[in-house]
């Protein structure tokens, strides 16, 4: 009989990851309660949150390397990759300038630092932060070059990985057919890396609990009350930047609805909120942007570069914090002084990418180099920096997700029909594709949409 040898299709694997993110929400709430009720115990839990973030960070460089090598190595023209990178950098510079300007405007309107006093403890905290963040632009540029080709995968420096991955990808382009076995091997390696990442993600509730409990126990309610004005103003500014500035640019340039894009990335925002690190969501952003129709090479260039150069939330923070400190010290900055300081900060911020507490370290290091008499005031915001770092991370992540769609649209490397299907929830992201154990597909040809 016809069709008797047809085997029934295996049932699809059930996606259990929604339980994981429900557990993350519960862990965050529990962490807040523990931090308020048992503050001394909660502070001891800080290494738990740090350990989880470090586990995620150890996966970032292999993921960037594999994604970018496969993407660049599969594109026939090196000029196409260069166009993507050049356009992305121009966009990053423009948006950083806009973010700095918005932070300056709000900082001058609310005059947040008036009436605060600097204690000796605050002064010392500011000096410590300056020592951590101080560094020259030359050191930053030289730091992009790794000690060896392979050390770029273990150095912890994203820009080193980006450089080596681009070199390897371009080399595989030149090798032609003889390079395809290497591309296939890296495709298999990518699957292994994502399998390890999926295993680590199941520790997210524990990491979120430890991180949230520690920061609430360490900070307490009193510090939040005394500095509520600057903190609330910063959050409001970040929200306006995301939904007004980024939303308008995305809509007028591409017609894409920002709310749909952010809803698609909802799990990633929850992960960032619970860990206060935008890097914790970087691997998933790469996978989701590819699924949404952006070509692998474009995602591989824009996302890692954006994590170093497109720090919109950090730019807003630097401007508002500088004005806050100047006001608190009784030495308000004139508009001309603000512009000079903040242009300096925009350059300095590029050297702090990947540093834990990068916003605070950059602020202190920039002031040490440009206005050393203001460094003591950095200690005023040390207590609430963790809460402000969450807003920085969320804003930075939103900015990079929008940038990926925009650059993909401008360089014609975005499958708009696929993006619309994804954002309309007709083709939801399948978590199991990140850990697919079946045969690895061959590297995509130029112009084809690749998926992880």
Give 75-112 pLDDT, tens digit per residue. Answer: 655 566 677 778 888 898 888 888 888 888 887 777 65
Cα–Cα distance for residue pair 390/313, rounded to 1 Å: 9
Phi-psi region of 448 (alpha: psi -120 to 50; beta: other; left: phi over 0): beta
State the number of CA atoms in the 13 A half-sphere of 177 facing the CB.
0
Cα–Cα distance for residue pair 342/290, rounded to 1 Å: 35
Could you tell me how far CA 220 lies from the centroid of its own chain? 27
Cα–Cα distance for residue pair 240/268, rounded to 1 Å: 20
Structural domain containing residue 255: 75-164+222-435
Residue 400 CB neighbour total at 10 angstroms? 25
Cα–Cα distance for residue pair 340/326, rounded to 1 Å: 14
pLDDT score at 432: 62
* SS3 category, 397: helix
| Structural domain includes residue 404 | yes
| Structural domain includes residue 173 | no
| Structural domain includes residue 399 | yes
Q: Which residue matches tokens 């950083």?
A: 96
Cα–Cα distance for residue pair 440/114, rounded to 1 Å: 61
| Structural domain includes residue 274 | yes
Q: Please, which residues bridge with residue 414 across strands?
A: 294
Q: How many helices (H) and strands (E) does the chain have?
A: 20, 0
| Structural domain includes residue 35 | no
pLDDT score at 368: 67
pLDDT score at 3: 47
Angle (CA) 65-410-268 rounded to 5° is 50
Give the mean pLDDT per block of 10 residues along the chain (452 residues).
Answer: 49 59 80 81 81 78 78 65 80 86 80 48 44 53 75 73 81 80 83 80 80 72 61 85 92 92 88 75 85 86 80 82 76 76 66 52 68 70 69 88 92 90 85 52 44 34
- Tell me the CATH number at 371: 1.10.3860.10
pLDDT score at 221: 62
Closest CA to 125 of 333, 353, 315, 382: 382
Q: How is 161-191 classified by DSSP, letter by letter?
A: HHHHHHHHHHHHHHHGGGGHHHHHHHHHHHH
Q: Which residues have CB under 8 Å from 151's CB, separation 6+? A: 160
| Structural domain includes residue 441 | no
Cα–Cα distance for residue pair 172/66, rounded to 1 Å: 13
Q: How is 31-95 classified by DSSP, letter by letter?
A: HHHHHHHSHHHHHTTHHHHHHHHHHHHHHHHHHHHHHHHHHHHT-S-HHHHHHHHHHHHHHHHHH
pLDDT score at 410: 92
pLDDT score at 403: 92
| Structural domain includes residue 369 | yes
pLDDT score at 173: 77
pLDDT score at 452: 34
DSSP 8-state secondary structure symbol assigned to residue 257: -
Residue 150's alpha-carbon distances to 11, 154, 310, in angstroms, are: 41, 7, 26
pTM: 0.71
* Count of structural domains, the chain: 1
Burial 211-247 (b: 16+ CB within 10 A, else e): bbbbbbbbbeeebeeebeebbebbbebbeebbeebbb
194 within 8 A of 65, measured Cβ to Cβ = no
């Amino acid at each position: 009989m016809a069709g008797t040898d047809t085997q029934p299709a295996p049932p699809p694997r059930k996606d259990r990851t929604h339980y994981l993110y429900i557990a993350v929400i519960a862990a965050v709430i529990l962490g807040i309660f523990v931090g308020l009720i048992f503050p001394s115990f909660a502070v001891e839990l800080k290494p738990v949150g740090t350990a989880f973030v470090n586990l995620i960070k150890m996966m970032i460089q292999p993921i960037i390397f594999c994604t970018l090598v496969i993407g660049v190595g599969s594109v026939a023209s090196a000029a196409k990759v260069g166009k993507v990178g050049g356009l992305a950098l121009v966009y990053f510079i423009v948006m950083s300038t806009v973010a700095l300007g918005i932070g300056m405007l709000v900082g001058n309107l609310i005059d947040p630092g008036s009436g605060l006093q600097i204690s000796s403890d605050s002064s010392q905290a500011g000096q410590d932060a300056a020592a951590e963040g101080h560094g020259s632009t030359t050191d930053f540029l030289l730091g992009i070059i790794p000690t060896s080709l392979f050390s770029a995968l273990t150095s912890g420096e994203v820009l080193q990985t980006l450089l080596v991955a681009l070199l390897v990808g371009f080399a595989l382009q030149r090798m032609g057919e003889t390079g395809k076995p290497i591309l296939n091997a890296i495709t298999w390696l990518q699957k292994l890396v994502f399998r390890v990442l999926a295993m680590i993600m199941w520790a997210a509730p524990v990491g979120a609990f430890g991180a949230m409990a520690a920061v609430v126990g360490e900070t307490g309610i009193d510090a939040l009350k005394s500095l509520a004005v600057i903190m609330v103003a910063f959050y409001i500014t970040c929200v306006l930047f995301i939904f007004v500035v980024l939303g308008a640019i995305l809509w007028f340039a591409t017609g894409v609805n920002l709310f749909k894009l952010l809803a698609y990335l909802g799990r990633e925002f929850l992960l960032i909120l619970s860990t206060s690190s935008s890097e914790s969501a970087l691997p998933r952003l790469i996978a989701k942007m590819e699924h949404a129709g952006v070509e692998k090479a474009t995602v591989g260039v824009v996302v890692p570069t954006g994590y170093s150069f497109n720090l919109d939330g950090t730019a807003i923070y630097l401007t508002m914090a500088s004005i806050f400190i100047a006001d608190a010290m009784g030495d308000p900055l004139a508009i001309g002084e603000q512009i000079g300081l903040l242009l300096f900060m925009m350059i300095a911020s590029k050297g702090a990418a990947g540093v834990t507490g990068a916003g605070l370290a950059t602020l202190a290091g920039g002031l040490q180099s440009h206005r050393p008499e203001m460094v003591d005031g950095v200690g005023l915001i040390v207590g609430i920096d963790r809460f402000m770092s969450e807003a920085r991370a969320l804003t930075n992540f939103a900015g990079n997700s929008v940038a990926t769609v925009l650059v993909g649209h401008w360089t014609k490397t975005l499958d708009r029909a696929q993006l619309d299907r994804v954002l309309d929830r007709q083709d939801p992201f399948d978590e199991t594709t990140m850990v697919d154990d079946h045969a690895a597909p061959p590297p995509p040809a130029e112009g084809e949409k690749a998926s992880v």
